Amino acid sequence: MSREQTLELSWIIPSALIPIALLGLLLYAYVTHGIHVPGQEGMIDPRAISQIAPFNAPGVVQTGPGTYQATIVGKMWTFEPKEIRVKAGAEVTFVASSADVIHGMRIQGTNVNIMLLPGQISRKTARFVKPGEYLLICHEYCGIGHHLMSGKVIVE
Ligand code: CUA
């Protein structure tokens, strides 16, 4: 084999192996972690959000010992509800969506950092160990009132 052929092979082989490895990783993520593109079960009609459970009753409900579900609707330019109250140590699953345009939701001091897309349900769970107030903000520019769009999680 000539030197040119060896050099060419040293490019061709990785360029075939890398996509195969990436496909393998996708398959691995799907099988072991259940990671997949959003399906129909995560979709809602944003125009009818106020009639669709759980968004017809935004707020916090206890789902078990120390676990809560906080349903939040983002809309120009507020969160509904603006305040969430839980006990220290609570594990809160946020279920959120948007009623109009694309918003964001980030809760200071936690790993909650999600997009609120009209028609799509977003979920993220966080544990609140330390009592205090955690600022909740919209981090996606959503119009003239974007900077006013905030709320808080109060941990008692
Ligand atoms: Cu909502 Cu920015």
> Where do the structural domains in the chain lie, given as residue ranges?
1-36, 40-155
Q: What's the mean pLDDT when you consider all of the chain? A: 92
Average pLDDT over residues 36-65: 86
Average pLDDT over residues 83-111: 94
Would you say the C-alpha torsion 16, 17, 22, 26 has a positive or negative sign?
positive
150 in ligand 1 pocket by Cβ < 6 Å?
no
d(CA 43, CA 58): 17
Report the topology of domain 40-155.
Immunoglobulin-like (2.60.40)
Q: What is the chain's length? A: 156
141 in ligand 1 pocket by Cβ < 6 Å?
yes
d(CA 128, CA 136): 13
Least Cα distance to 114 among 134, 92, 136 occurs for 136
How much is the pTM?
Answer: 0.77
| Backbone phi and psi for residue 41, each to the nearest 5 degrees, phi listed first | -65, -15
Ligand 1 atom closest to Cα of 149? 1
The rounded percent of the chain whose pLDDT value lies above 70 is 99
